């Protein structure tokens, strides 16, 4: 059911068949604005090339072998002409060997020396006490010594592209992790101990887990959510109604829990790479439930999970049919009030684009903008840059051209590989050798409930925003005209997280470099998801916050960090107080949906799409 609100804004030249199913032969998405001529409709020979690359991409899980070969060739040629680095590496190998020999000799004489090599901060493979005993301790140290040498060997070298150095180091970490002694039953003291204690039952249970996982992977089946984490009952259970639905999103209005609410409503724009309920998990850590309880009228977009028939959806469609459409509906339901807009991750990037375009067009419907773990500049975009260059993007474009979307495994594999020692190998040991089942939590259930990405939109995002960095470079156009972030004049609140490897906080901080408005930047403890989920009462949390008045001089992130001391506790109340300061006061809570009869109870229907 689709209705048109009174002030709905649509593009007059929008194609009428934008959401129609493609023909049997894969259709090539229209080139993104600013695309090169060779990205237009391909000749039959070019189509053959793309089909070949798409077939190869399925075999490599979407990773371009050409990019890796180029990285290794670049590294090898620069190392070959650097005798000083070769000598340095030879000396490091000798030093590591001596450290291992001294450690082994001390262990043989019954001493307990300090281990010369320590695992990385995310490496949890060595926590069992058995790794402190011979011979396991020596095997562990030998592995870490090798890892240390390769880290030095693939570090920056004069003339070598940093991205290629990082890629060679990343590849070697993956290869070394695959032969870690912790992966083998006879090399891992924890597996041996568990096998002796259970009489081998752990191995039988692990084999059953392996068979079950293999069947799901081969069949490409989406696992059903556990009953104890049912959507709408346990997760995404904040009461509300779907008040609008189109082909791209459902708009949820949450039921007020206070007699009065702030006059200005709040619109939450989540990322579409995952489902929105990361912000509405269990009742005790639901960001949306907390916000409703603070006396706000809250709306949230729930994006649909696109299929091949949505291959032509563009980034502009997500802006117009998503954010702008939601604003039109909210203006009808809460007339005469501006809107506090909050964007998370990719939703925040899209919100920044929309806010800049609205400022350019003198559309003053926003009261404030909040960006949570969202980037507007992608020069320092973290470890995801390992997977993106011209070769890699073209490789993914060919894959999406053939199937109409980027599928779940092709995205989740890249994120897991960044933390492979914990997310891949440690899990495999626990599940397949220790026989331990995966015990779901609300966060892991959400992580596994992945979505697809439309081919055209994702290509425009990867190429125009990520690879070519058009937003901060002043080359991103909306409706044919370039936007500028400095046009945004409403107050902005930016949240970064300390250990974010998807949107590193120093990259998120650069919003302050490209805007001139009143801006608060808050840095909180945690990662990309865990830092945002920081409900009041969460143990061990802290944050730092700073204020940059409109027109003030820019301070680099390290200077900012040194000038702001950590504050204990959750950052949510701090943001809540900021939101209150930029609101006009309390009004009676709305009792109806102002001409928008509910289409469904929250969390709606799109959240259940697999």
Residues identified as active-site: 345
Structure tokens belonging to residue 134: 């011979």
Nearest residue to 307 via CA among 448, 167, 406: 406
**3-class state of residue 65 by DSSP:** helix
DSSP-assigned letters across all residues of 466-512: IIS-HHHHT--EETTEE--GGG--S-EEEEEETT-SSS-HHHHHTHH
Burial of 315 (0-12, 13-18, 19+ CB in 10 A): buried
What are φ and ψ of residue 517, in 5° steps?
-80, 175
**Which residues does 483 contact at the CB level (< 8 Å), separation at least 6?**
353, 356, 357, 360, 471, 476, 477
Closest to 432 (Cα-Cα) out of 246, 119, 89, 185: 185
Q: Rounded distance, CA 487 to CA 356, Å? A: 6
Q: What are the phi and psi torsion angles at 53 (to 5°)?
A: -65, -35
Spatial CA neighbour of 353 closest among 317, 389, 396:
317
Residue the block writes with tokens 């003291």 = 189
For the chain, how big is the Rg over CA atoms in Å? Answer: 26
298-303 and 249-254 beta bridge pairing: antiparallel
Q: Which two tokens stand for residue 223?
A: 């696992």
Q: What is the Cα–Cα distance from 530 to 420, expressed in whole angstroms?
A: 18
Residue reference for tokens 């028939």: 309
CA–CA distance from 462 to each of 308, 407, 497, 511 (Å)? 19, 15, 23, 19
């Amino acid at each position: 059911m689709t209705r048109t609100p009174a002030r709905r804004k649509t593009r007059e030249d929008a194609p009428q068949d934008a959401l129609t199913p493609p023909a049997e032969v894969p259709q090539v998405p229209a080139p993104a604005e600013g695309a090169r001529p060779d990205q237009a409709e391909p000749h039959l020979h070019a189509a053959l090339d793309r089909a070949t690359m798409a077939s190869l991409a399925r075999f490599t899980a979407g990773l371009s072998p050409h990019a890796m070969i180029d990285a290794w060739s670049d590294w090898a040629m620069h190392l070959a002409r650097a005798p000083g680095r070769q000598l340095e590496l030879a000396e490091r190998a000798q030093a590591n060997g001596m450290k291992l020999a001294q450690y082994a000799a001390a262990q043989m004489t019954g001493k307990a020396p300090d281990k010369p090599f320590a695992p990385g901060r995310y490496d949890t493979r060595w926590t069992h006490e058995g790794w402190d005993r011979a011979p396991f301790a020596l095997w562990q140290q030998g592995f870490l010594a090798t890892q240390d040498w390769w880290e030095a060997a693939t570090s920056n070298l004069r003339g070598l592209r940093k991205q290629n150095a990082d890629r060679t180091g990343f590849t070697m970490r993956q290869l070394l992790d695959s032969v870690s002694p912790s992966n083998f039953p006879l090399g891992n003291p924890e597996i041996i101990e568990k096998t002796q204690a259970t009489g081998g039952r752990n191995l039988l249970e692990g084999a059953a887990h392996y068979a079950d996982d293999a069947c799901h992977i081969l069949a490409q089946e989406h696992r059903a959510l556990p009953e104890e984490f049912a959507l709408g009952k346990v997760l995404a259970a904040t009461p509300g109604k779907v008040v609008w639905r189109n082909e791209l999103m459902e708009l949820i209005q949450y039921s007020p829990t206070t007699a009065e609410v702030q006059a200005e409503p709040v619109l939450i724009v989540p990322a579409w790479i995952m489902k929105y309920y990361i912000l509405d998990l269990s009742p005790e850590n639901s960001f949306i439930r907390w916000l409703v309880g603070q006396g706000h009228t809250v709306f949230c977009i729930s994006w649909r999970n696109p299929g091949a028939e949505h291959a032509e959806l563009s980034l502009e469609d997500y802006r117009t049919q998503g954010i702008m459409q939601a604003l039109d509906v909210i203006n009808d339901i809460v007339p005469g009030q501006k809107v506090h807009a909050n964007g998370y991750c990719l939703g925040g990037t899209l919100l920044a684009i929309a806010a800049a375009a609205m400022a350019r067009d003198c559309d003053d419907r926003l009261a404030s903008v909040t960006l949570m773990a969202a980037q507007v500049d992608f020069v320092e975009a973290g470890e995801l840059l390992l997977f993106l260059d011209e070769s890699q993007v073209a490789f993914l474009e060919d894959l999406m051209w053939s199937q109409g979307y980027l599928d779940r495994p092709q995205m989740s594999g890249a994120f897991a590989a960044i933390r492979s020692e914990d997310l891949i190998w440690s899990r495999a040991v626990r599940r397949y050798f220790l026989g331990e089942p995966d015990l779901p939590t609300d966060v892991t259930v959400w992580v596994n409930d992945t979505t697809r990405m439309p081919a055209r939109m994702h290509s425009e995002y990867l190429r125009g925003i990520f690879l070519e960095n058009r937003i901060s470079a002043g080359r991103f156009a909306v409706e044919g005209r370039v936007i500028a972030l400095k046009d945004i004049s409403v107050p902005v609140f930016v949240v970064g997280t300390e250990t974010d490897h998807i949107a590193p906080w120093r990259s998120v901080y650069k919003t302050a470099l490209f805007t001139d408005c009143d801006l608060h930047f808050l840095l909180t403890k945690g990662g990309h998801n865990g830092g945002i989920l920081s409900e009041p009462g969460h143990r061990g949390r802290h944050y730092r916050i700073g204020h940059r008045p409109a027109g003030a001089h820019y301070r680099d992130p390290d200077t900012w960090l040194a000038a702001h001391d950590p504050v204990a506790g959750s950052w949510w109340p701090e943001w809540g107080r900021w939101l209150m300061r930029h609101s006009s006061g309390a009004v009676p809570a709305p009792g109806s949906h102002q001409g928008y009869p509910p289409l469904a109870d929250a969390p709606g229907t799109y959240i259940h799409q697999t």
